[in-house]
Amino acid sequence: MISVQHLTKAFGKFKAVDHVSFDVREGETFALLGPNGSGKSTILKSIVGLIKPTGGDITIGGVSAVKTPQASRKALSYLPQRVGFHDCLTAREVLEFYCRLRKLPISRIDDVVHGSEFNFNGFSEKRVAELSGGMKQKLGLAVACLADAPVLLLDEPTVSLDPAGAIAFRAFLKTLKEKGKTIVFTSHVLADVEMLADRVAVLVDGRLTALVGIDELRQRIAERKQSLEEIYLDYAKTA
Amino acid sequence: MELSSILPIARQELIVAIRNKWTVIFAFVFGSLVLAISYFGTVTAGEIGFQGFNRTTASLLSLVLYLIPLVALMMGTQSFLRSEGEDEMLFSQPVSRSAILGGKLLGLFAAMTTATFVGFGLGGLVIATQTDAEGFLGYPAFVLLSLILSLVFLSLSMLAAVASKRQTKAFGIALLLWFFFVILYDLLVLGGSLLLKERSANYFIFASLFGNPVDIVRVAGLLSMKGGEVFGAAGAALLKFLGGYTQAFAAAITSLILWTVIPILISLRIVRNQDI
């Protein structure tokens, strides 16, 4: 579904991403794991077409995200790490705006707000200025769900959520996974990775240091009696 | 053009401008200006009371040339500046970057148009009820020129915001643009013309007119009032070289269109290659 080949992104002399290659299969939940500054968000933004890669290619469903980003974006929805909307608009107005922009019927808002397993209720008439960081993140997720796109790209999705919100979010993501969505998310919350991901790409200093299936990771945890944190630190050290 | 993408963005931009009270404040300022200038315009001559459209328009023109560029630059820079989370969400939609900028520009222009029509419209209505309608035709032309001037400076604000990633830098450039076009430019042209011989100086003044949209609007405004005696050197040179009111007005409007289109094209070129 998503193919990233020799992706390189340099900011001046600094290489944020260095020849990273991986494929994400249709219906797979794929995690980009790494410390701050490892290039996770840069890779995700390159897939969305927000960042122009210095080298390499990315395709989504066979459409190049580098050459034709607008066309490739039709197949995806993206939730940035820090979402932002105009303070003076209500949550519902924000959703209506994104419905219009993606040429979706306005009734789609009710499908998402009332019809999904995630609790979007209770804030749709509130102004964005009145929403907490977690509520804004929820609104961002609701926007990302509007298009019902086959690919979801989530940048540190649980970072602004409280523990209850994070648990609910993981459960919601599992339902999306069951519906066959292809999900790519970045995280340094290992609990998210362990619970949600089918495969994990470990990044350190812009380079891919490991690409492993979650079952393989679990096997290592069992065999070596190591925690996921310890295994992750091993990968980071060997980079 | 992707009109179906541009229109929702423009609509949202207009709603935000109205909710943030920009539009209401500017409408109030414009309306108050019209009434104050019309009512107190002859106070130095010991008179008080509403003047007709001719005098009001001529006085308003000078003030609008200071005010509208500043308002458009500030409002535009604020809107076109990047807000990380907001832009990532917006630019990740299957919409071209040109459509996003185009939509924002259209929305801002709609907000400026609303403020201008409401402010100048209500003010004009009061004058019409209080005085005779002499010179009324010059008033809509003046309103139209004000709108064109706001569009020119909105597109310049787009360029200032797109070219500079930091907020302080963008507002600094916007203020510099205002100072250059509204205050400094005429002084430079005047200084330059003094260094040249008469014939060359005339050519220089004629050519320099097209280098400043504020001057073009000033001259076009005076042309629309057919106020030949108050054209100044630039207006007189324009008429002399182009041979008549119609040609001069057409040249002024064409150059204002270019002053709008060129900054937009440069902005689009920059934003297409930018990382969000």
User: Is A93 a member of any domain?
Assistant: no
**What's residue B207's pLDDT?**
87
Residues A94/B11, Cβ–Cβ less than 8 Å: no
Average pLDDT of span B139-154: 92
Among A178, A146, A174, residue whose Cα is nearest residue A77: A146
| Amino acid, res. A66 | V
The residues with which A212 forms a beta bridge, in sequence order, are A200
The answer to whether the Cβ–Cβ distance between B275 and A45 falls below 8 Å is yes
User: Is A102 a member of any domain?
Assistant: no
CB burial readout B125-138, b (16+ within 10 A) else e: eebeeebeeebbeb
Q: Going by C-beta distance under 8 Å and a sequence separation of 6 or more, which residues neighbour residue A12? A: none
Confidence of residue B182 (pLDDT cuts 50, 70, 90): very high
The B-side interface with A (CB below 8 A) comprises 4-5, 7-9, 11-12, 15-16, 19-20, 83-89, 91-96, 273, 275-276
List CB contacts (< 8 A) between B84 and chain A.
80, 82, 84
pLDDT tens profile B2-54: 888 999 999 999 999 999 888 899 999 989 988 888 888 777 777 777 787 77
Angle, in degrees to the nearest 10, between helices B245-272 and B232-242:
100
Range of weakest confidence among A51-55, A228-232, B85-89: A228-232
Range of weakest confidence among A99-103, A234-238, B74-78: A234-238
User: Is A215 a member of any domain?
Assistant: yes
Please give the DSSP secondary-structure letter assigned to residue A38: S
- Percent with pLDDT over 70 in chain A: 92
Distance CA B93, CA A48 (A): 9
Distance CA B76, CA B189 (A): 28
List CB contacts (< 8 A) between A154 and chain B.
none
**What's residue B223's pLDDT?**
79
Question: A140 CB near a chain B CB, below 8 Å?
Answer: yes
**What's residue A234's pLDDT?**
73
Question: A10 CB near a chain B CB, below 8 Å?
Answer: no
| DSSP per-residue letters across A106-127 | TTHHHHHHHHSSS--TT-TTSB
Q: At B159, list the tokens.
A: 């360029």
- Percent with pLDDT over 70 in chain B: 95
The answer to whether the Cβ–Cβ distance between B20 and A85 falls below 8 Å is no
**The total number of residues written for chain A in this structure:** 239
Distance CA A67, CA A55 (A): 12
pLDDT tens profile A15-52: 999 999 999 999 999 999 888 888 999 999 999 999 99
Strands A182-187 and A29-33: parallel
pLDDT tens profile A137-148: 888 988 998 988
**What's residue A239's pLDDT?**
57
Q: At B161, list the tokens.
A: 């915001």
Distance CA B211, CA B215 (A): 8
- CATH assignment of the domain containing A232: 3.40.50.300
pLDDT tens profile B76-109: 998 998 777 889 999 999 999 999 999 999 999 9
**What's residue B248's pLDDT?**
83
**What's residue B206's pLDDT?**
84
Confidence of residue B260 (pLDDT cuts 50, 70, 90): very high
Question: Is a pLDDT exceeding 60 seen at residue B235?
Answer: yes
Q: At B54, list the tokens.
A: 């001719």
Question: A73 CB near a chain B CB, below 8 Å?
Answer: yes
Residues B154/B72, Cβ–Cβ less than 8 Å: yes
**What's residue A51's pLDDT?**
93
**What's residue B171's pLDDT?**
93
3-state helix, strand, coil in chain A (%, to 5): 40, 25, 35
List CB contacts (< 8 A) between B86 and chain A.
84-86
Distance CA A37, CA A203 (A): 9
Average pLDDT of span A197-209: 90
In angstroms, what separates the C-alpha of A70 from chain B's closest C-alpha?
Answer: 5
User: Is A100 a member of any domain?
Assistant: no
**What's residue A8's pLDDT?**
95
Q: Going by C-beta distance under 8 Å and a sequence separation of 6 or more, which residues neighbour residue B158? A: B76, B80, B101, B104, B105, B263, B264, B267
The answer to whether the Cβ–Cβ distance between A102 and B94 falls below 8 Å is yes
Q: Angle at Cα A221 formed by Cα A217 and Cα A224, nearest 5°?
A: 125
**What's residue B228's pLDDT?**
52
Confidence of residue B231 (pLDDT cuts 50, 70, 90): low
User: Is A40 a member of any domain?
Assistant: yes
Size of interface A-B (CB pairs under 8 A): 78
**What's residue B85's pLDDT?**
80
Question: Is a pLDDT exceeding 80 seen at residue B71?
Answer: yes
Residue in B12, B19, B92 closest to A50 by CB: B92
State the distance between the two ends of chain A, measured CA to CA, in whole angstroms: 28
Among B35, B68, B61, residue whose Cα is nearest residue B225: B61
Q: At A152, list the tokens.
A: 């979801």
pLDDT tens profile A124-176: 788 999 988 888 888 898 899 898 899 999 998 888 788 888 888 888 888 88
The residues with which A182 forms a beta bridge, in sequence order, are A151
User: Is A135 a member of any domain?
Assistant: no
**What's residue A24's pLDDT?**
95
Confidence of residue B117 (pLDDT cuts 50, 70, 90): very high
Residues A30/A81, Cβ–Cβ less than 8 Å: no
Tally the domains of chain A: 1
Average pLDDT of span A214-230: 74
User: Is A11 a member of any domain?
Assistant: yes
- Boundaries of domain holding A48: 2-80+150-238
